[in-house]
Amino acid sequence: MRQSTYASVWLITLSAAIILAITQGARQTTGMYVSPINTDTGLGIANIAFAMAVGQFVWGAVQPLSGALAGRVGYAPMLAIGVFLMILGSVITPFMTTTLGLVIALGVIQAAGAGIGSFSLLMGAVANRIPAEKRPFASGVINAGSSLGQFIFAPITAGLIAWVGWVKSLWSVAAIALIALPLVWILRAPSQAGSTTMVEGPSLKEQLRIAVRDKSYWLLHAGFFTCGFHIAFLVTHLPTEVQLCDLSPSVSGNALAIIGLFNIAGSLLIGWMATRWRMRVLLAGLYASRAMAIGLYLLAPKTPETLYIFSAVIGLTWLATVPPTAGLVAKLFGVKHLATLFGLTLLSHQIGGFLGAWLGGIAIESTGSYQWMWFADMALALIAAAVSLPVREAPPRLVSAAA
């Protein structure tokens, strides 16, 4: 029985990790299309960055909504819808030659699909199907799937753009996304381990009322806002930063791949550490290390080696904030409504993402560099480290249905 339970936990966890690898891998490499889309359409980097910034917001906005809907229609149907939307958005993007069209295709349809098939729904699905003691490490494994996707998709995307052009590259990525559909089927039903699918507790409305009054919940939102600002800025503008440094375009693909590779280690490590140390302390350390890494990057000579070392250091913290943040939300409020409550923190994450992607485009067109964006990123990272430390770690705050 124990072997059966162990196998079931791994099957569910790895299926979710691979789905996330596909949805996040495709999404995290969209910045590589900025230059070729600009060359073909002449829309301007700021307009293209705005479309991608809208995508950052939409990606976060759909997660609490899809989490609430999954509680009614099931996780598998919602995940399947997400995969189809992501594929549709990728397929129609090359036909969009205006800013509005690009916003609809990349910023709304593709981003919504990737958001539905992302952290909130997948971690909620797994958390409700495996034993509580296995959840922190499972979150780390799922998070590592996202980084693995970036590691795989970045060089493939760069190679395809150089070989067959950005249009066929985008369509090829959409075709790869079809692999996620059979894996969605595995998450259609509860684990036979009989863990926590039917979780007792308050209604969603009652739980939201508790959460919005909790200071710790808002501090997690503040930290995650900074995380989104940082990641969206780099994903969208790192290829342009590479151009400003007069380096080969292949450096940006390699740098994104290195970020993904090192975050696999970072995600697994933080998942293991979250079972042994205070998660709020881990979060503070992750944010502080980002500020330090950016400061050292700004002082260093801009060579491929510098970019690769910077990418490796940033990669260790890239999405390593997700397991402790999700873990703290679950610890504070339980797992019954985790997909929605964690989805709301991801919405804050993507509001930061919207600003990181959009303001980066404005900065480069206004000043010709990203210097002030780097300074803003450092300041926000230090603030996020400071606000993470007061977060309370306590058992779930629940109320009875009668309340």
The percent of residues above 90 in pLDDT, for the chain, comes to: 31
- Give CA–CA dist 168/36, Å, rounded: 12
* Mean pLDDT across the chain: 84
What's the pLDDT tens digit per position in 92-119? 999 998 999 999 999 999 999 999 988 7
200 versus 23: the higher-pLDDT residue is: 23
- Tell whether the model's pLDDT for residue 89 goes beyond 90: yes
- Determine the topology of domain 9-388 in CATH: Growth Hormone; Chain: A; (1.20.1250)
* Whole-number pLDDT of residue 208: 86
- Give CA–CA dist 175/275, Å, rounded: 38
- Tell whether the model's pLDDT for residue 194 goes beyond 70: no
Average pLDDT over residues 341-359: 87
Least confident of 54-63, 142-151, 173-182, 368-377: 142-151
The percent of residues above 70 in pLDDT, for the chain, comes to: 92
* Whole-number pLDDT of residue 3: 44
What's the pLDDT tens digit per position in 278-330? 889 999 999 999 999 999 999 999 999 999 999 999 988 887 888 888 888 88
- Give CA–CA dist 334/255, Å, rounded: 37
* Whole-number pLDDT of residue 140: 73
* Whole-number pLDDT of residue 6: 56
Q: Are 364 and 78 in contact (CB under 8 A)?
A: no
pLDDT bracket for residue 400 (50, 70, 90) = very low
Average pLDDT over residues 366-391: 93
State the pTM of this model. Answer: 0.71
- Tell whether the model's pLDDT for residue 331 goes beyond 60: yes
* Whole-number pLDDT of residue 383: 95
* Whole-number pLDDT of residue 201: 62
Tokens found for residue 304: 């491929």
